[in-house]
Structure 1
Amino acid sequence: MSQFLKATPICLLFLALSLGLSAQKPGPLATYEPIYGPSVVQLKNFYALSLLESPDASRILLADPALRSLYQQKNDHLSRAVKECGSDVGCYTGTMKFTEDEIKLVSGRLSQLYKADNGLGKLVKDHLIPSGTYILYDSLPLGELLVKAWELEARGLNHVLEVYAEGMKPNYPAIDSIAFNTKSRSFGTLAYDVAELTRQEGNTSLFFSPSLQYALRWLEVNGRDEAADYEPMRFTENKAAFLHARALDSLAAWDKFKYSVILVPGSGPSDPSVALSPVGMLRCRLGALRYFDGLAPFLVVSGGRVHPFKTKYSEAFEMKRYLMEVLHVPEEAIVLEPHARHTTTNLRNTVRLLFHYGMPIGKPCLITTTRSQSLSIGSHAFVERCRRELGYLPYRLGERLSDTDLEFFPSLNSLQIDHDEPLDP
């Protein structure tokens, strides 16, 4: 994590809320300023909960007796657990998850407390909608949008505890599983230590705070901070490209190019000592050929710390270095996308960066990769995979130019948070 992030206080979140960064018309805004605080992992996974911590919203929640009671139950459980649970991990985690009844209770209270002109209304109008984080539900009445965001994030929090504390298999067990042997005696000791630390750290007395901090500690001890890699990227690894994109501030400048970007997906090596796989190199070379042909002003290299399990190497970072050092592509032409863990999210995350960096969202893009992956992306099976794993298509396919080159058009549905993929939500 960069020094910028370590030095950025949570007060920036509250300042942004007080300024009311929004526009009158509904829908996501490219000009919406992303909010950063001391825990990027929290903000990227639990954006609505993070916004509820703001002074205007939290005052409303803290004044509600039912929500205060729920907080007390969760907080009291931590105190009892460190005295009574011993090495029984389920004893620690069970009550820290939200039951369906508890989720419904909170949903009902939020519905009652929401008013268009109070802190909750301001949160939805000025942040949830323009951020696009719950774009799939933008057609709902605003109070219902807040409720939906809560319900998804509550289930996402439960998912973190199920996978990274209880050892349940995640969507992709080979790359995203828990880092510990849950049957070992030492793991029972760790469960006590996480609960005790969470108890000592305290919280904001909001109904979700004990469970949220407990889940974040489990992600931390598992070494699963991939969601925060290089963030905020427009100030770190993508600064040159971000400024270059802003310099192309007219449609006429973009009209010189057939495509806005050339997406080059990564390919992780099987050997943990290898930084960039042979397939990754070949994909970089294919992308560089298209860039030097003048098809687009930017290459997007996409891929996180994925293969093999808990690798220290970021596919996108190593591809960027290879493009610059070996293929002599200028840094200002390379957009780093270091979070995707699957081909589906190579596309989704690229669309997110296009939007947030002010690139034309209606212009076609090119995905250039090795033949087998390109043909897979163009298949009906890939469409079904996107719908199954994401709940929507992050793109619309265009023309196939060759076995290695395929056009696609971005979909803003890609802005939606994925609540059951905490390493790349």
Structure 2
Amino acid sequence: MKTNLKIYPILLAACFTLLFNNRVFAQIKQLAGYDKNYHFVHSGNLVADKNFYLLTVIEHTPAVSKLVSTNNTLQTILTKRVTELKQHANDTCFMPASLLTGFRYNTQDSTQISDVFKELYSANKSVFDAMINTHLRPSGYYQRFVGLNNQELLLKAWAQYVYGINYIIDQFGFGKKLRFPRIDTASYVVTSRYYRGVMKDMFSMLDEHTTEMKLFYQPSLAIAMGLMDANDRDEPARFEPMEQKDNKKAFDRIKLIQWDKYKYATIVIPGNGPELFTTPISPDNKIHCDIAADRYLKGWAPFIIVSGGYCYPFRGPYCEAIQMKKYLMEKFSIPENAIIIDPHARHTTTNFRNANRLIIRYGIPVDKQSVFITAKMQASSVKSDLFDKRNMHDLGYLPYREKTGISNHDITFYPTYESLHMDPLDPLDP
């Protein structure tokens, strides 16, 4: 039998090509990000899910949860924090510093836990990869980390939890004035006799649930969620799931739109909270809506996104998005199936970010411009380079591409996928 020596280089090249393609495919799969078909898992506490999705995913991944719950170092941390929680349920400590300091994460804690996660990942790579590729990457909640390998993404996601949990305890436990104290701070003077009593009662209640705490981070998470609940700061969970409630009619209509008939995909209106408790919608917000309604009735876009939460005045009773929707429907007879609410945004930066989230998750074309419409003073601010710098400072990225001012009131932009990324330093709208 004669052997054709010329075929060997061809077969060898084919083998290398197949091996290379398999490696590239595996790398692409690992570096994948948001998947529109992903379905979120839930813990029963949507505020916790939105702020700390990593923890929710760990608890829904039995193999990872078992590794975490049986690690000696992490069990030591759990035992220490459960012991302290039980102690404070019955001792005479009443000041925030004595009650809460042990539930924050200091540099030593964070480094120690990160080292454990590195070891666990290295020894159980396939288990963690399955969790990360099935949940963390496609969720979009860690979209800014998708260029990292899985171990790095895991560590970054853990670091976000540390920042976030410390932020909540600092703000609602220690009463620190953090990023936006005018609207985000604690509802009570944290050192007041009343609030100290509330915290002691919170520890007493949580003491009854310590037997359910199997994972090292659960005591601190329970404390943080208890502090937010004590201040009625459940904004992230309000109106959810929006696509089944207030946004259902518009959400169902999206799939019917012939997008080439419209110049823009959406019209975005930022909120502007009233200064008075007796005023549902501010004068400036009426101006925003009047201008946007004019554009909508001229056929600029098939949908209006009204964006704004419970912001001004502090702890006021009105949600900006809900009041704008009512105003547009009552004054201009704009149909409900043309209005999408974002009732969570608290700042101009997150008006863009949250509108992007809705555009992306609802299946509105991301390759079609939207138009941001507001009053002249705010429009001038948004057009400026200073606004870009503010976004980079607050968010770490620009929540728009090709931002272009086309009039005193109109700014066009394309959405960015980075907007899906959860923000650990904005617990009321992460």
Q: What TM-score does the superposition give when structure 2 sets the normalisation length?
A: 0.90
2:131 aligned with 1:123: yes
Task: Give the letter aligned to residue 32 of structure 1.
Answer: Y
Q: What are the ranges of 5 or more consecutive residues in structure 2 without an aligned counterpart?
A: 1-28
Task: Give the letter aligned to residue 49 of structure 1.
Answer: L
Q: Residues 82-231 of structure 1: matches in 2 within 5 Å?
A: 82-114=89-121, 115-118=124-127, 120-202=128-210, 203-231=212-240
Q: Which moved more, 1:159-168 or 1:101-110?
A: 101-110
Q: What are the superposed Cα offsets for residues 7-38 of structure 1, whole Å, 9 maximum, x if unpaired?
A: xxxxxxxxxxxxxxxx8871111222233442
> Which secondary structure state, in structure 1, belongs to the residue aligned with residue 133 of structure 2?
helix
Identity across the alignment (%): 35
Provide the residue aligned with 1:4 in structure 2.
none
Q: Which moved more, 1:268-277 or 1:196-205?
A: 196-205
How many residue pairs are counted as aligned between the two chains?
398
Provide the residue aligned with 2:248 in structure 1.
239
Task: Give the letter aligned to residue 129 of structure 2.
Answer: G
2:323 aligned with 1:323: no
Deviation at 1:347, TM superposition (A): 0.2
Task: Give the letter aligned to residue 303 of structure 1.
Answer: G
2:382 to 374, 377, 381: 377
CA distance in 2, matches of 1:31, 1:296: 26
Is the 1:378–1:397 contact (alpha carbons within 8 Å) kept by the matching residues of 2?
no
> Which secondary structure state, in structure 2, belongs to the residue aligned with residue 255 of structure 1?
helix
Task: Give the letter aligned to residue 174 of structure 2.
Answer: E
CA distance in 1, matches of 2:191, 2:68: 39
CA distance in 2, matches of 1:227, 1:336: 14
Is the 2:359–2:365 contact (alpha carbons within 8 Å) kept by the matching residues of 1?
yes
> Which secondary structure state, in structure 2, belongs to the residue aligned with residue 244 of structure 1?
helix
Provide the residue aligned with 2:58 in structure 1.
52
Task: Give the letter aligned to residue 383 of structure 1.
Answer: D
Are the structure 2 counterparts of residues 398 and 148 from structure 1 closer, same or farther at C-alpha, using a change threshold of 3 Å?
A: closer
Provide the residue aligned with 1:12 in structure 2.
none
Deviation at 1:343, TM superposition (A): 0.2
Task: Give the letter aligned to residue 218 of structure 1.
Answer: L
CA distance in 2, matches of 1:339, 1:373: 19
2:48 to 42, 59, 62: 42
Task: Give the letter aligned to residue 385 of structure 2.
Answer: H
CA distance in 2, matches of 1:198, 1:169: 26
Provide the residue aligned with 1:342 in structure 2.
347
Provide the residue aligned with 1:17 in structure 2.
none
Task: Give the letter aligned to residue 34 of structure 2.
Answer: P
2:320 aligned with 1:311: no
Is the 2:239–2:246 contact (alpha carbons within 8 Å) kept by the matching residues of 1?
yes
Are the structure 2 counterparts of residues 245 and 34 from structure 1 closer, same or farther at C-alpha, using a change threshold of 3 Å?
A: farther
Deviation at 1:182, TM superposition (A): 2.3
Q: What are the ranges of 5 or more consecutive residues in structure 1 without an aligned counterpart?
A: 1-22
CA distance in 2, matches of 1:79, 1:24: 42
Task: Give the letter aligned to residue 368 of structure 1.
Answer: I
Is the 1:237–1:336 contact (alpha carbons within 8 Å) kept by the matching residues of 2?
yes
CA distance in 2, matches of 1:92, 1:25: 42
Is the 2:141–2:420 contact (alpha carbons within 8 Å) kept by the matching residues of 1?
yes
Is the 1:262–1:300 contact (alpha carbons within 8 Å) kept by the matching residues of 2?
yes
Is the 1:227–1:423 contact (alpha carbons within 8 Å) kept by the matching residues of 2?
yes
Q: What are the superposed Cα offsets for residues 335-386 of structure 1, whole Å, 9 maximum, x if unpaired?
A: 1001000000000000011110011112111011111111111001100100
Is the 1:298–1:335 contact (alpha carbons within 8 Å) kept by the matching residues of 2?
yes
Task: Give the letter aligned to residue 42 of structure 1.
Answer: A
CA distance in 1, matches of 2:162, 2:354: 23
2:269 aligned with 1:264: yes
> Which secondary structure state, in structure 1, belongs to the residue aligned with residue 341 of structure 2?
strand
Task: Give the letter aligned to residue 309 of structure 2.
Answer: G
Q: Highest Rg: 1 or 2?
A: 2
Is the 1:246–1:357 contact (alpha carbons within 8 Å) kept by the matching residues of 2?
no
CA distance in 2, matches of 1:47, 1:226: 16
Deviation at 1:154, TM superposition (A): 1.5
> Which secondary structure state, in structure 2, belongs to the residue aligned with residue 394 of structure 1?
coil
Is the 2:96–2:191 contact (alpha carbons within 8 Å) kept by the matching residues of 1?
no
CA distance in 1, matches of 2:30, 2:68: 26
Are the structure 2 counterparts of residues 83 and 24 from structure 1 closer, same or farther at C-alpha, using a change threshold of 3 Å?
A: closer
Provide the residue aligned with 1:396 in structure 2.
401
Are the structure 2 counterparts of residues 33 and 246 from structure 1 closer, same or farther at C-alpha, using a change threshold of 3 Å?
A: farther
Q: What TM-score does the superposition give when structure 1 sets the normalisation length?
A: 0.91
CA distance in 1, matches of 2:429, 2:172: 15
Provide the residue aligned with 1:5 in structure 2.
none
Provide the residue aligned with 2:365 in structure 1.
360
Alpha-carbon RMSD across the aligned residues, in angstroms, is: 1.4
2:39 to 33, 43, 62: 33
1:302 to 274, 299, 307: 307
CA distance in 2, matches of 1:159, 1:109: 23
> Which secondary structure state, in structure 2, belongs to the residue aligned with residue 86 of structure 1?
coil
CA distance in 2, matches of 1:193, 1:107: 33
1:62 to 54, 63, 69: 69
Provide the residue aligned with 2:82 in structure 1.
75
Is the 1:85–1:92 contact (alpha carbons within 8 Å) kept by the matching residues of 2?
no
Deviation at 1:411, TM superposition (A): 1.1
Q: What are the superposed Cα offsets for residues 56-85 of structure 1, whole Å, 9 maximum, x if unpaired?
A: 321111121111111111111101222334
> Which secondary structure state, in structure 2, belongs to the residue aligned with residue 402 of structure 1?
coil
CA distance in 2, matches of 1:229, 1:185: 30
